[in-house]
Amino acid sequence: MLLQLTIVWRRLYSLLYMKSPCLAGHSHRVAQLSVEIGAALGLDTHLLGVLFKGALLHDIGKMLIPREVLFKKGALTPTERQEIQSHPSLGVQILDGVPGFEEIREIVLGHHEKIDGSGYPRGLSAPKIPILTRIVTVADVYDALRAQRPYRKGFPCPEVEKIIKEDPGLDKQVVETLYKQVLAQPAARWPAFCQYNPIKIKMPD
Ligand SMILES: [Fe+2]
């Protein structure tokens, strides 16, 4: 059962990589950063494994968004924006019904929720957003701002820090942990299952 699950995780991540190496790279960095934050917050090994897998597949729903919309360089139309914002719901549609994926469901569905209720798709506020989801949200925003995209360079660190610290939708404790503990440490502390290999990625047990 565990072996079968691991094969499914890897296969899903490989499909994401085939859709876009850039998107897969983002997902992997978000997974690494999420685990770092989770470890600094004192989460146990099991939860760190759930966090890693959930973060790795958080954007899996984007596989179902047409490339011309997903990678459009100009401004999105309201319909296109709606289409992109459907990716958390599409993600759980991909994963629902597959045994073993229940634990990451909330991360996939909730990673664009904000603690002030301004997120999507459900507009949840703080008490209804679990800590694992809040961690992935912060890591996702951080990487999205820092990473270079085909149409723009990554934002400089000071600007990213200002944006993240001033965002009322991000969990303050998670943000503080990111800046005071994680980014102050070398990446050498990453667990073995975080080491990057786009196709044969090692999954946590
Ligand atoms: Fe997303």
pLDDT digit string, tens, across residues 28-51: 999 989 999 999 999 999 999 999
Q: How far is the CA of 202 from the centre of ligand 1 (A)?
A: 23
The answer to whether 65 and 83 have CB atoms below 8 angstroms apart is yes
- Domain assignment of residue 199, yes or no: no
> Does position 162 have pLDDT exceeding 50, yes or no?
yes
53 an active-site residue?
Answer: no
| CA 197 to ligand 1 centroid distance, Å | 21
pLDDT tens digits, 91-134? 999 999 887 889 999 999 999 999 999 999 999 999 999 999 99
- Whether 204 is covered by a domain: the verdict is no
Is the pLDDT at 139 greater than 90? The verdict is yes
SS (H, E, C) 9-47: HHHHHHHHHHHCHHHHHHHHHHHHHHHHHHHHCCCCHHH
Tokens of residue 166, six digits: 């001033």
Q: How far is CA 177 from CA 58, 181, 205, in A?
A: 21, 5, 26
Ligand 1 centroid to Cα of residue 28, in Å, is: 13
Q: What is the whole-number distance in angstroms between the Cα of residue 62 and the centre of ligand 1?
A: 8
- Ligand 1 centre to CA of 87 (Å) is 7
pTM for the model stands at 0.89
Does residue 58 form part of some domain?
yes
Is residue 201's pLDDT more than 50?
Answer: no
Residues with CB under 5 Å of ion ligand 1 are 59
CB atoms within 10 A of CB 90: 18
Is residue 202 a part of any domain in this protein?
no
Q: Which two tokens stand for residue 132?
A: 């694992």
- Domain boundaries, position 46: 2-194
What's the CATH code of the domain at 154? 1.10.3210.10
Selected catalytic residue, list 53, 62, 72, 165: 62
Residue 30 lies in a domain: yes
Number of domains the chain contains: 1
- Asked whether residue 153 is assigned to any structural domain, the reply reads yes
For the chain, give the percent of residues with pLDDT over 70.
87
Do the domain assignments include residue 200?
A: no
